[in-house]
């Protein structure tokens, strides 16, 4: 799972997390930030922009770990604020029902999702944001795409670990062409 | 289904609607207006207040017909505006997936839902509203209840046609005690 | 919507249905028949095969109208039996929540779904079938595809009215690559 | 969460699990076993029967941990077989989308769910079973209830940790009176 570095304080040291990651599935959230029109229909999708060590462009969804004693909706808010800034005004859905559960395995091919570092069970939500997005960390930028662009080959090839599939599953859930 | 009178212009005269209602299932929407906190959690539920012919109090969800060539999300907006006023600022969900489909039959007992006038197939959504609600029609008022009150016997007894059940199904979907 | 002719008895004559179709949205169901393995994972998808008047091949999902006073799950069973035969043993989901609602408009472009004859509001379900499928009507055949084939260009080009999109939305819902 | 003892082999010793339980949210599954009729409608709900140390009767849903490198649907199958026996023939849903996510906190009152031992994030599914259920472990029995009985006060009082709420949310999801 292409994930931005999780710098939020947790209850585990980095070494301890690494240890747990090799032995337990880790609870994650994935958020697909979207702009919607007055009728709630999705008009664009926000993707984080990064540069991989080999200088290729990489795009990713908002994602991160759920901490001990943290509610899922608080984890969503925390990671959205981390990646989109403090005035993005995300509207986390009223229901805890995710549109899907992405199972990232360290072994490729078991599901469409892969994370070499860990077995992550990620609850995925489409989250409308109505404010101003100002990514503030890790030199990441946020770029908005039309649903058609988001599902297109160009964007899909810049996503890794199956996040392109998850993005298309999100579009499908929103009633769009996946 | 306790429904507020549908005064919006349609493609059918009243007589023609009555005729169709006896012969085809009619497409409806039901909306459960809610207030949410910053994390998206439901804090209160809005119910319309009416007075039945026998002067008993009656509470109901937002509901109404989907017109020919009208999208479901436009029908939701139209009925929400009709019942909550023009500045209620409803946030219709990004996904067309309803939390349930309530099948109102003219014959009681087939499902938990009953409408003596028609067979209505109603797509039900939880809709956060962030603006000012000013019911403007039919002397209806809108009253906000805590989720606990909404699921309680007192409110449930003031709802008819199974809308109390639908309200509790909405609470369940929102992760609350139904 | 490419639909097999609905020969089941209804409450309306063909002329009356045609009349209503021009003036009211019509309630439909769409079923995506699938084979699943012991763990419930989808292994193949069944598509109906037809030959269009211009002799091109056309593939479609199970679909049809919901009759007056008919439950959605009974309409699903009726159309599945009509298209897959009496011993297909379909497992209609326990929940009435569809994975999406496909809105077929007579005007193309409003949604991904189009039906020149009518405005159909179609509740869509993935339905595992465990029995023997023997299509029995209109010389239709049923062909099973792997999820990859079903999402591929070849199959997609043989589907019309947006049913290829709906099929891919169903794959997304099942956790597969859409 | 009233859970039957998890005797399946994992990658962690009991001491290590206890340690992780105090520091990371643990991935769980909850299954609500149901009997359905030919149309897929739920006709009864299966609850496990246990006897608490104080000799009071306790009823619970199928539940348990997801192991490292185990798919959710395999965890569901494993716990269903553990609690219902090898010939229960569970039909795990085709979609990974749970009907809800129950967040069990060690601190009561944050959500309707509570587990004094851990922070568990539990993906909840309604699972039709068509075979013969023979609970085989821990002297647990399985008792079938009508949906009305399952939602009633008597059964609800015999469930703890919020599982009664989760059961009613499952009934709501299945279109029944919660």
What local confidence, expressed as pLDDT, does residue A12 receive? 62
CB contact under 8 A, D69 and A119: yes
What local confidence, expressed as pLDDT, does residue B4 receive? 43
pTM: 0.92
At residue D156, φ and ψ (nearest 5 deg) are -60, -35
Q: What residues in chain A have their Cβ under 8 A from chain D's Cβ atoms?
A: 11-12, 16, 20, 22-27, 66-72, 95-101, 103, 105-107, 110-111, 119, 121, 123
What local confidence, expressed as pLDDT, does residue B9 receive? 40
Q: Which residue has the tokens 């494993």?
A: D78
Is residue D11's pLDDT more than 70?
Answer: no
Q: Which residue of C has its CA nearest to B66?
A: C25
- Residues of B within 8 A of C22 (CB-CB) are 68
What local confidence, expressed as pLDDT, does residue A10 receive? 45
In chain A, what are the domains?
24-173 (3.90.79.10)
Is residue C6's pLDDT more than 70?
Answer: no
What local confidence, expressed as pLDDT, does residue A135 receive? 80
What local confidence, expressed as pLDDT, does residue B139 receive? 54
What local confidence, expressed as pLDDT, does residue C12 receive? 62
**Percent of chain A's residues with pLDDT above 70:** 88
CB contact under 8 A, C95 and D39: no
Is residue C95's pLDDT more than 50?
Answer: yes
For D112-140, the pLDDT digits (tens) are 999 999 999 999 999 999 999 988 766 57
Q: What residues in chain D have their Cβ under 8 A from chain C's Cβ atoms?
A: 34, 36, 38-42, 71, 73-74, 77, 91-97, 99, 126, 128, 173-175
Is residue B78's pLDDT more than 90?
Answer: yes
The residue that leads in pLDDT, A31 or B11, is: A31
What is the largest distance, in Å, between two alpha-carbon atoms of chain A?
Answer: 47
The residue that leads in pLDDT, B8 or A53, is: A53
- Per-residue pLDDT, averaged over C100-109, amounts to 97
Averaged pLDDT score across all residues of chain D: 90
In the DSSP assignment, the letter for residue B138 is T
What local confidence, expressed as pLDDT, does residue D12 receive? 62
Half-sphere exposure of D7 (CA within 13 A, CB side): 8
Q: Which residue has the tokens 């709802």?
A: B159
Lowest mean pLDDT, pick from A151-160, B15-24, B114-123, C32-41 = B15-24
Residues whose CB is less than 8 angstroms from the CB of residue D113 and which lie 6 or more positions away in sequence, other chains included: D1, D102, D103, D104, D105, D122, D161, D162, D163, D165, D166
- Residues of A within 8 A of B70 (CB-CB) are none
- Per-residue pLDDT, averaged over A83-98, amounts to 96
What local confidence, expressed as pLDDT, does residue B134 receive? 87
* C106–chain D nearest CA distance, Å: 31
Half-sphere exposure of A84 (CA within 13 A, CB side): 31
Is residue D2's pLDDT more than 90?
Answer: no
pLDDT band at C3 (very low <50, low <70, confident <90, very high): very low
* D173–chain B nearest CA distance, Å: 7
What local confidence, expressed as pLDDT, does residue C149 receive? 98
What local confidence, expressed as pLDDT, does residue D147 receive? 98
Averaged pLDDT score across all residues of chain A: 90
Residues in chain D: 178
- Interface mutation vs chain A, best among C39, C156, C177, most A CBs within 10 Å: C177
Is residue D9's pLDDT more than 70?
Answer: no
Lowest mean pLDDT, pick from A1-5, B37-41, C126-130, D44-48 = A1-5
**Percent of chain D's residues with pLDDT above 70:** 88
- Per-residue pLDDT, averaged over A128-149, amounts to 87
What local confidence, expressed as pLDDT, does residue C19 receive? 72
Averaged pLDDT score across all residues of chain C: 90
Give the 3-state secondary structure of C27-65: EEEEEEEEEECCCCCEEEEEEEEEECCCCCEEEECEEEE
C116 exposure class (CB count in 10 Å sphere: 0-12, 13-18, 19+): exposed
- Per-residue pLDDT, averaged over C96-105, amounts to 98
What local confidence, expressed as pLDDT, does residue D177 receive? 97
- Per-residue pLDDT, averaged over A86-106, amounts to 97
- Per-residue pLDDT, averaged over D30-51, amounts to 96
Residue C160 burial (CB count, 10 A): 16
Nearest partner of A72 among A48, A94, A51, judged by Cα? A94
- Per-residue pLDDT, averaged over A159-177, amounts to 97
CB contact under 8 A, B72 and C26: no
pLDDT band at B81 (very low <50, low <70, confident <90, very high): very high
Angle at alpha carbon of residue C69, lines to B76 and C99, rounded to 5°: 45
Residue A8 burial (CB count, 10 A): 14
């Amino acid at each position: 799972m292409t994930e931005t570095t999780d710098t939020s304080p947790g209850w585990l040291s980095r070494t301890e997390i690494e240890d747990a990651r090799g032995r337990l599935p880790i609870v994650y959230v994935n958020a697909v930030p979207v702009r919607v029109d007055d009728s709630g229909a999705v008009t664009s999708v926000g993707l984080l922009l990064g540069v991989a060590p080999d200088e290729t462009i990489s795009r990713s969804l908002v994602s991160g770990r759920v901490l001990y004693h943290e509610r899922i909706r608080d984890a969503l808010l925390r990671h959205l604020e981390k990646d989109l800034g403090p005035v993005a005004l995300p509207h986390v859905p009223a229901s805890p029902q995710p549109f899907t559960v992405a199972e990232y395995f360290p072994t490729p091919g078991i599901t469409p999702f892969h994370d070499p570092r860990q077995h992550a069970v990620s609850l995925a939500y489409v989250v409308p944001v109505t404010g101003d997005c100002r990514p503030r960390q890790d030199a990441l930028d946020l770029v908005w795409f039309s649903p058609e662009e988001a599902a297109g080959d160009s964007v899909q090839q810049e996503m890794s670990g199956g996040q392109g599939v998850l993005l298309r599953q999100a579009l499908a859930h929103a009633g769009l062409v996946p």
